[in-house]
Amino acid sequence: MSSIVNRKSQLATAISALVLSLGAGQAVATGFQLNENSASGLGNAFAGGAAATDDVSTMWSNPAAISQFPRTQAAQAIHIITPSIKFSNNASLPAANQPLGGDGGDAGGYNFVPNLYLSVPINTQWTFGIGINAPFGLTTEYDDGWLGRYQAKKSQIQTINVNPVLSWKATPTLAIGAGVNYQYLKATLTNNANYSGALLSAAGGAGIAPGSPTFNAIAGATSGLDSDVQVKGEDGAWGWNIGFAWDATPQLRAGFSYRSQMKYDVSGNIDFSNPTVVLPPGTSPQLAGTIAALSAGVNQRALYNRSVTSDITLPAIANLSMLYRLNSRWDVMADIQYTGWSSIPELKFVPTDGSVLPATPLNWDDSYKFSVGATYKANEVWKARVGIAFDQTPVTNAPTTRLPDSDRWWLAFGGEYKWSPTLKLDTGVAYIIGDNTNFNRNEGSTASYGLVNGDFEASTWILSLQATMTF
């Protein structure tokens, strides 16, 4: 029984690590943040986002900016995001009584992220707006049977944020904005559990000595068995955002915005699909009975379904931006973005059945993203954009298999075509390349979860399309 209890503790560590995936799909900013909020902004790598006034999509970066639009304006954007996440094995080790497995293939894939924004002037001083977007998310999935299957297989995160705002033009050169946010989060996370290892652990707890003929017979008859584990959770949270935009001179515009933390009380379930133990021909009735008893114990006291909750605080975000008009054709811009990732010091699940799961410490650091860009106005119809950014990772300790995060560089370009006085079309393209991540992780037990030792390479292509209508 003590071994089964130990197995539950090991499993609890893995489940606690799974909570990370409530925001840990391979997003295209560091941590698990999605910066893709407009096609026009993507072309500049979102440099100058809180100071930009290209269109109503700037609302996400700064609610004050919509005071610049004297007519009703709507923007719809779609972002096609294709991350590539590949692992190269160096010295990985298999879990107990299991084959090692493969490298996992490409865990990225095609993802589609939409945005929708609307601004409506109330009078010459006040403007109402509403934005709907997805600030966190994406999906990663490793191949079946990969060597890290006991740590992560699939992570699917979906969020939607609804953000009504008001902007007040306090003076001809100063605007102030504020809004409320409702954000809904849903996650589905999967991995395998080492069922063969759990049986051997239970055998040791039942007094069957490791290395004994009976123990070795159990190992030989039950090798390579896996359980499928699925974690689902969801919740909604409220937050707020503020911003100001200041025309310091006719050429220089500055902006600042702040988004509050989002505090979730996630409710979810952990479900196990345990295998049926099929014994080889010729297995003795005594050994078959022993294995059946061990399997029943694992199913009832270790790998069993339960409901859980988890308190998670997603980080505050602040932007300080500048846009300078060099002349009638050229604008240059810069941006500093702060993300308060230290709001997640640990991850912890609390089962509703009274059992205890240990916390998983993260100790992430707050991080910064620095970007610069330029826009060239060729004529009244065409604009071209370019930008570069450095995105700092908050992961200072060992990364997880679900989030092999690293510092990243953005290279972006885009353009605008003014179809008519009331319709303009924007596109943006970005390539994001991360540093190689040296990886060495066993979630506390190589016997239970294997040792994943090697290197991760990650990169992302983004194509964004946007249509903006003025009414």
| In the block, residue with structure tokens 């409702």 | 182
Upper half-sphere CA count for residue 396 (Cβ side, 13 Å): 12
Q: What is the DSSP string of 32-50?
A: TB-----HHHHTTTTTTTT
Instruction: Determine contact, residues 177/243, Cβ cutoff 8 Å.
Output: yes
Q: Would you say 449 and 416 are in contact if contact means Cβ atoms under 8 Å apart?
A: no
Nearest Cα residue to 63 out of 180, 148, 141, 221 = 180
What pLDDT is attached to residue 167? 98
Q: Can you list the residues of the chain whose pLDDT is less than 70?
A: 1-33, 138, 356-361, 397-398
- Contact call for residues 377 and 332 (beta carbons, < 8 A): no
Query: Distance between CA atoms of 133 and 66, rounded to whole angstroms?
Result: 17
* Residue appearing with tokens 């040792």: 451
Q: Which helix (H) or strand (E) holds 15?
A: helix 2-18
Domains of the chain, each with CATH number or no CATH:
2-406+428-470 (2.40.160.60)
pTM of the model: 0.86
Spatial distance between the Cα atoms of 235 and 58, rounded to a whole number of angstroms: 27
Position 308 scores a pLDDT of 86
What is residue 356's predicted lDDT score, i.e. its pLDDT?
67
| Alpha-carbon span 218 to 401, nearest angstrom | 31
Token pair, residue 265, equals 């009380």
Supply the pLDDT for residue 183. Answer: 94
What is residue 11's predicted lDDT score, i.e. its pLDDT? 39
- Reading the block at residue 130, the tokens are 């509403």
pLDDT for residue 314: 86
